Structure 1
Amino acid sequence: MNRRSKFLIIFLLLAFFILNTIPIPILILEDLKASKIIFVHKVSPNDQFTIHWMHSVELAPWEEIFSIDDDCNIILDSTRFKAFGAGVPDAAGKKTVIKNGWIYFLNIDKDMPNLTYGISNFAKHTFYFKNKTLKLYNMVPNDNPIKIYTKKISLLSYLYYKNI
């Protein structure tokens, strides 16, 4: 084996090692009934995403705003909604504000390791992240639960997930 071949083999082994050891934090949305990943995206600390839906009792829009912390955990930052009603606490977080017809619960700072939503055609669950809008009610069958979670995977695994 000549020097060039040895160098190429060492380079390829090193590249494979790097691709398998560099951890990439990702956000995953999974259809639990189908055991199918419906969204994967790389995340960084302070990234935010929002879940929007129509509340079944008040028939009014609701939003929950989440962020990613330094350890790649999902944190509930705030909630906004149009009216108090069944099942709504009178306060959450460190601050409550009313602005432009919305009631805001701010600075909730709650770790959400198991974030699951039952997706319905009525509630029209929609996911917003960076410049992406996912109409979840069009992506999974009615009444299917989805799970939203983060994990760290290798760069090679991330490239695989992105091509699913």
Structure 2
Amino acid sequence: MRAYATALCAAILLVSFDILSAPALFLQADGEKTVIVRQIREPAPLTIHFIHSVQKTPVEEFLTAYPDGHFHLTGTRYQSHGVGLPFLPEEGTFRQEGEHFVLDMDRDYAELSLRTGVGTELMIEAGGKRIPVYEMYPVGTRIDLVVAPFYTYFL
């Protein structure tokens, strides 16, 4: 019976270690951490939604969060074409899909920081969740998206 209890405790410890050490996607702001995706063992899709501050139209940025902590921007989709929106051929493959302009891109980022803005309605979508960041934090708040071991949530 004692061997069984020891084996059970060892199994629980190993599973706990595996869960706690797995990379997770966090939103950090104002000293708080919010778990967006609990485990990122494979690349995880991530979409940033906001209203463009100049054009006042919706923009979506499509990214992938990687277990090693970096982010990859694969494209953007937006409704207007103008100041502050990408359109140059060297930025990626540009096309129009109905009412939307789409730019397929290939950019890596070691870190990802955003800010809430007046009327920008910043939202983060990942892991089946859509987080209305603009409702959670005041205008001007720095928002960091971070991939780190899950146990860091408790530190």
Deviation by residue 1:137-164 (Cα, 9 ceiling, x = unmatched): 11122221110121234xxx38x76xxx
Partner of 1:40: 36
Give unpaired runs (5+ residues) of structure 2: none
Return the alpha-carbon distance in structure 1 between the equivalents of residues 41 and 18 of structure 2. Answer: 18
- How far 1:121 sits from its partner (Å)? 4.6
Give the alignment of 1:1-164 within 5 angstroms: 4-5=1-2, 7-21=4-18, 23-31=21-29, 34-41=30-37, 42-69=39-66, 71=68, 73-91=70-88, 93-106=91-104, 108-153=105-150, 157=151
**Relative to 1, partners in 2 of residues 1:29 and 1:104: Cα closer, same or farther, differing over 3 Å?**
same
Query: Does the CA contact (< 8 Å) of 1:45 and 1:72 recur in 2?
Result: no
TM-score by length of 2: 0.81
Alpha-carbon distance in structure 2 between the residues aligned to 1:70 and 1:29: 15
* CA distance in 2: counterparts of 1:148 and 1:85, whole angstroms: 27
Show structure 1 runs of 4+ deviating over 4 A. 69-72
Would the alpha carbon gap of residues 36 and 75 (structure 1) be closer, same or farther in structure 2, given more than 3 Å must change? same
For the 8 Å contact 1:121–1:142, the answer to whether it is kept is: yes
TM-score, structure 1 normalization: 0.77
1:50 alignment partner AA: T
Corresponding letter in the other structure for 2:44:
D
Unaligned runs of 5+ in 1: none
Question: How much is the aligned-residue C-alpha RMSD, in angstroms?
Answer: 2.5
